[in-house]
Structure 1
Amino acid sequence: MDAKPIPTGRLLSTADGHELVLTRTFKAAVTDIWADVTEPGRTALWFGPWEGDAGVGHIIRVRLDFEDGTPWCDLRIDACEPPYLLGVTMSDAAGDWPMELRLSEADGVTRLELVHRLATTKSIGDIGPGWEYYLDRLCAARDGSETVSFEAYYPAQKEYFESLAVER
């Protein structure tokens, strides 16, 4: 990827804290994008493969193939409404990461929103660039383009995400 990636994240206030929302659109059926975010062979192309018995309330293990050391982490499935909603809580050394993938389709275009719930915005400068990176990896996996370099996202986008947290 030659062009410098542009951050897309938005920060919304909620009753319990904040939601960091990142969006991508695809000229594809919602069922195709759903497969990209739920089937282990397809998640392996942009995020990492997973193993276990998938189902609401179940915990699966995900290998983070594009992180240093390719660590495994637990991922609890909190909600699953194919092909429109996947709610999960990822747990790793940094703590619990509650998030949702929300999908919608109109006129052959699928919109994917990654919503990361945050109790505090303390680490938003570290979290936001990572999700931008992974969503762009998904785009690259789908269109066969060159994979992106993490350095183009972090620390390059850290300041942008920290600015979202500034009180208005």
Structure 2
Amino acid sequence: MTRTPTGRLLRVATGHDLVLTRTFRAHAEDVWASITEPERTARWFGPWEGEAGPGRTIKVQMAYEEQQPWMEARIEACEPPMRLAVTTIDEHGRWRLELRLSEVDGVTELKLVHHLRSTEAVGEIGPGWEYYLDMLVASRAGAPLPEFDSYYPSMKPYFDRLGATARDGAMS
């Protein structure tokens, strides 16, 4: 199945934000549970363990990656059910991420924001986030989980163009 990339790259004071959005016919509290409760995150990203809370570090397993690695995630902000900010640390370095939720009339919009210092690897990063957010959508719907091959390498040129445009100084 061919997937269409949805990510946007926005210039911000500290670099660029890669922003991906998904919409759910559900209350924000329910979507929040899907992104914060370990038994629910296990369905689309991976389980986590530890004592969660702002300023604390948990361990998260990337269950849908080769070798299912574990990484640390420091919780920078937790404002249920509207905002979760984490910094992840793994063999690829340190990533600053935010999940922002907003609800209107029982419809919740989820924005994943990856704060980037450089746009160099956006061609690899973007397709991965598209995949994981569609995994979330499928897990909530009880639908079959998508295959990563539907995202990468087919989406790489789209995200590479976003990164090149950003490096050339144009706004995306």
**Partner-residue secondary structure (3-state), 1:137:** helix
> What's 1:91 paired with?
89
Task: Give the aligned partner of residue 22 of structure 1.
Answer: 20
Q: What secondary structure sits across from 2:95 in the alignment? A: strand
SS in 2 for 1:32: helix
Structure 1's consecutive aligned runs of 4 or more residues displaced over 3 angstroms after TM superposition are: none
- Alignment RMSD (CA, Å): 0.6
Instruction: Tell whether 2:120 aligns with 1:110.
Output: no
Distance 2:15 2:160 in 1: 15
Task: Give 5+ residue unaligned stretches, structure 1.
Answer: none
Map Cα deviations across residues 126-152 of structure 1 (whole Å, 9 max, x no partner): 000000000000000011111101011
How big is each residue's C-alpha offset from its partner over 1:25-62, in whole Å with a ceiling of 9 and x where there is no partner?
Answer: 00000000000000000000000000000010100000
- Give the equivalent residue in structure 2 for 1:139: 137
Matched, 1:121 2:143: no
Provide the residue aligned with 2:36 in structure 1: 38
Tell me what 1:50 maps to: 48
Measure the CA separation in 1 of the matches of 2:98 and 2:40: 18
Superposed CA deviations along residues 90-130 of structure 1, whole A, max 9, x for unmatched, are 11001001010000000110000000000010000000000
Question: Distance between the aligned counterparts of 2:115 and 2:60, measured in 1?
Answer: 19
Q: How many corresponding residue pairs? A: 166
Equivalent of 2:128 in 107, 127, 130: 130
How far apart in 1 are the matches of 2:153 and 2:90? 21
CA shift at 1:75, angstroms?
0.3
Identity among equivalent pairs (%): 56
